Amino acid sequence: MRHVGTVTALAACLLAAGGCGSGTGSDKQGTATTTAPSPGDTWSLLISGSPTPSPTVSRGARSSASVSASQVSPYPSCTKAWPATGKALIPVVVTPIAGGFKVEWPPQYDSNYRVTAVPQELVSGAQPEPAWKDVPAGTGCTISTTITGLIPGAPYIVWLDAPNSGYELDGTRHLYSGRSGVVYPE
């Protein structure tokens, strides 16, 4: 309530002729002059305006259109479009087969590859090392291999690594690899 009283008094003061010690005046030529406020004086600035309405939520119409991105094959003669996965991941297409997966990806950096299926079941203690399968560099539009000997219906994530994809200036290896989401062999 004290703040409202101060604002009301200040408004009444400003409406009076010349204001209430506003610190401004006029010299003989009619230009405004300013004097510094005394210590302990309280100054407030009132700006008139109009209130803005509260925002309202508008709901758009539902659309059935879907957006998908694809990565162009490194070979111009290839027509297969690979799902875009970002700068550091090689797109991987995993197809479940009996007791395993067929894994496909586009060639990158003329590197050889290695691929594994990592079980997603909880394991107490140290996690077992994945068993990698080596795959030579390919020359076509698609490199593929199969992973077998897996438990049908169990969850796995397929990892792909391109170990000879080159090195950065500081000696670290390029981070070109790929992975699937959770997949289940038949």
Q: Does the structure show a pLDDT above 60 at 57?
A: no
136 within a domain of the structure (yes/no): yes
Q: Please report whether residue 59 resides in a domain.
A: no
- Asked, for residue 101, whether it belongs to a domain, the answer is yes
State yes or no: pLDDT of 115 exceeds 50.
Answer: yes
pLDDT exceeds 80 at position 186: yes
* Res 180: pLDDT: 92
Residue 136 pLDDT exceeds 50: yes
**C-alpha to C-alpha distances, 135 to 35, 110, 144, 176, nearest whole angstrom:** 84, 12, 8, 15
In a domain, residue 168? The reply is yes
Q: What total of structural domains would you count in the chain?
A: 1
Q: Would you say residue 97 lies in a domain?
A: yes
What confidence score (pLDDT) does residue 132 get?
95
Residue 143: other Cβ atoms inside 10 A:
21
Q: What is the DSSP code (8-state) at residue 153? A: T
Here the CATH number for the domain that contains residue 127 is: 2.60.40.10
pLDDT at res. 108: 78
Evaluate if residue 117 carries a pLDDT over 80: yes
Any domain includes 133: yes
The answer to whether residue 57 is domain-embedded is no
pLDDT confidence of residue 176: 73
With respect to residue 13, please indicate whether it lies within any of the assigned structural domains. Answer: no
Specify burial of residue 153 (Cβ count, 10 A radius: 0-12, 13-18, 19+).
exposed
Report pLDDT for 95: 96
The whole domain housing 93 covers 70-183
End-to-end CA distance of the chain: 74
**pLDDT at site 72:** 46
Q: Which of 48-62, 63-77, 116-130 has the highest mean pLDDT?
A: 116-130
- pLDDT > 60? residue 32: no
| Average model confidence (pLDDT) across the chain | 73
Q: Write the CB contacts of 175 (distance below 8 Å, at least 6 apart in sequence).
A: 88
- In this model, does residue 3 exceed pLDDT 70? no
3-class SS of residue 5? helix
Residue pLDDT, tens place only, 75-88: 566 777 776 655 55
**For the purposes of burial, counting CB atoms within 10 Å of the CB of 117, is it exposed (0-12), middle (13-18) or buried (19 or more)?**
buried
pLDDT in tens, 87-113: 557 899 999 999 999 999 988 777 899
Helices within the chain (DSSP H only):
2-15
Q: What is the pTM of this model?
A: 0.56
Question: Higher model confidence: residue 151 or residue 17?
Answer: 151
pLDDT band for 61, please (50, 70, 90 cuts). very low
